[in-house]
Structure 1
Amino acid sequence: MSTAKAPRPKRNFSSLAPLTTKTLVDQVVDAIVEATAKGIFLPGDRIVEAEVARSLNVSRIPVREALRLLESQGVVVSERYRGMRLMSVNIDRLEKTLKVRLALEKLAGAEVIARAMADPAILAPLEDIVTQMHAAADAGDGFLVASLDTAFHLCLCELSDNDTLVRTWKPLSRQLTIIFGLSTLKKDIKAIVAEHDDVIDALRKGDRSAFDKLMEVHILEYSRAVDYEKLVEQLRMLEHRDNTD
């Protein structure tokens, strides 16, 4: 004797909870990254969970989760018996990070150039970000320039239409925002934006060799021009002087 299956109820997506733009943990992560990029927290500083929670007026739970996420992305490092510390910006660490980034973005550029030859309009999102970067530079907003700088390079990777490449690049994004942010304390932010005009121009022309050479300068040479360790030392001395005045 066969039994008839009960009809499957229709899915009612309206009963699901609405999506939120950012969770509290995400907001805590963003606050820590922004403070570090602006030189408020400094690379190598100890991050005390209770102090961050108190400053942001949140419980320690989202701070703890935020620090775990940042640890997985290399922004903070857990040291036995010493707690969490912000990533260092020594030359060796930066070189390794930037060389990986360069390899990924050269590959992204090659794939974007191939796609843009068939449809130049795919470069529009990059052009829009650079327009925003110019406006941020005109307003003197170094952190916004740094955030948009990260968004530009993520967008370049996303336009490659290579999911594996994007998943490999993304964990570096918050480290890069910090590095970009610190560089705006030393470099002319309008010059930083102008570098991105050159990147888009190379993509439009479709010259992969020229693009690769430009990216070597943009990612490696310009970054090497900033002595991040010395910059952090100077900021630490200024902080100490302000605290003792």
Structure 2
Amino acid sequence: MSGQADPSPRPALTSLAPLSARTLVDQVVEAIVEATARGVFLPGDRIVEAEVARALKVSRIPVREALRLLESQSVVVSERYRGMRLMSVDIAGLEKILKVRLALEKLAGAEAMDRIAAGEADLAPLEEALARMHAAGDAADGYGVARLDTDFHRCLCQLSGNEVLVRSWEPLSRQLTIIFGLATFRKPLKEIVAEHDAVVDALKAGDRAGFDRLMEVHILEYTRAVDYEDLVAQLRRIEEGRRRTG
């Protein structure tokens, strides 16, 4: 139509800013999870947005978004007029996590064995994850073992080929990393890693009943063997002692 200027051509897709592999919010999330798994923060601690922002040298906006994400995954809980607190590790709460996790990972193992038998999958990714765990254990890297422990179980779920299962398991992952990290204060790292050797062996054997029994021990009994409430109380006493003497 005459009298109207032609519209400007749309910018090419190459003009879009490249995406970072991990957003700032993701980095803040992982920093909070790591600090909790290492015992810098303790379950039940109040998380002050401004203090976290100062420590990480970021604005409060990504910290606020990170806390919202962690709240959606039950890593932090919002208390009216009191802000955000880290998840507790009381027995009742842990039991709920363990039972859901056990059901998902038993199913993951069964479906993974079916796929392996059909030639649709193999254990190489899980064995690679286990090798990284061994390396972290040999290096006495407690948080590394905890993080890779989570990766190992994520890989197990992914081997199932069941996307719904993986999406159901994933929201538990950051709580698990914290639980695994706290466990390293009470259990030898090499013992933790060795428990996962048995999981791979059970999958290789293709014995579903045996795998289920092993996972009940691995997920329920081994986790229950750590008194997390007592551990957190002990770590809190140590921290209070440092503050008094410091």
TM-score under structure 1 normalisation? 0.94
**2-structure distance, mates of 1:96, 1:121:** 31
Residue 164 (structure 1) shift: 0.6
Alignment of 1:93-104 (within 5 A): 93-104=93-104
Alignment of 1:16-55 (within 5 A): 16-55=16-55
Contact kept, 8 Å, 1:47 with 1:84, in 2: the verdict is yes
**2-structure distance, mates of 1:188, 1:11:** 57
Contact kept, 8 Å, 1:53 with 1:59, in 2: the verdict is yes
Question: Residues 134-181 of structure 1: CA distance to partner in whole angstroms, max 9, x if unpaired?
Answer: 110000001000000000101111111111101100000000000000
**2-structure distance, mates of 1:59, 1:223:** 37
Question: Residues 80-101 of structure 1: CA distance to partner in whole angstroms, max 9, x if unpaired?
Answer: 0111000000000000001000
**2-structure distance, mates of 1:238, 1:151:** 30
Q: Percent identity?
A: 71
Question: Residues 60-115 of structure 1: CA distance to partner in whole angstroms, max 9, x if unpaired?
Answer: 00000000000000000000011100000000000000100000000000000111
**2-structure distance, mates of 1:184, 1:198:** 19
Residue 120 (structure 1) shift: 8.1
Question: Residues 20-74 of structure 1: CA distance to partner in whole angstroms, max 9, x if unpaired?
Answer: 1101111100000000001110000000000000111111000000000000000
Name the structure 1 match of 2:227.
227
Name the structure 2 match of 1:237.
237
Name the structure 2 match of 1:3.
none
Residue 10 (structure 1) shift: 11
Could you tell me which runs of 5 or more consecutive residues in structure 1 were left unpaired when the two chains were aligned: 1-8
Equivalent AA in structure 1 for residue 172 of structure 2: L
Runs of 4+ with deviation above 4 angstroms: 9-13
**2-structure distance, mates of 1:116, 1:11:** 47
| RMSD of aligned alpha carbons | 1.5
Name the structure 2 match of 1:115.
115
Alignment of 1:1-245 (within 5 A): 13-119=13-119, 122-245=122-245
Residue 233 (structure 1) shift: 0.0
Q: How many residue pairs align between the two structures?
A: 237
**1-structure distance, mates of 2:55, 2:81:** 24
Residue 121 (structure 1) shift: 5.8
Equivalent AA in structure 1 for residue 117 of structure 2: M
Could you tell me which runs of 5 or more consecutive residues in structure 2 were left unpaired when the two chains were aligned: 1-8
Residue 17 (structure 1) shift: 3.0
**1-structure distance, mates of 2:10, 2:116:** 42
Question: Residues 104-132 of structure 1: CA distance to partner in whole angstroms, max 9, x if unpaired?
Answer: 00000000011111238621000001101
Contact kept, 8 Å, 1:120 with 1:204, in 2: the verdict is no
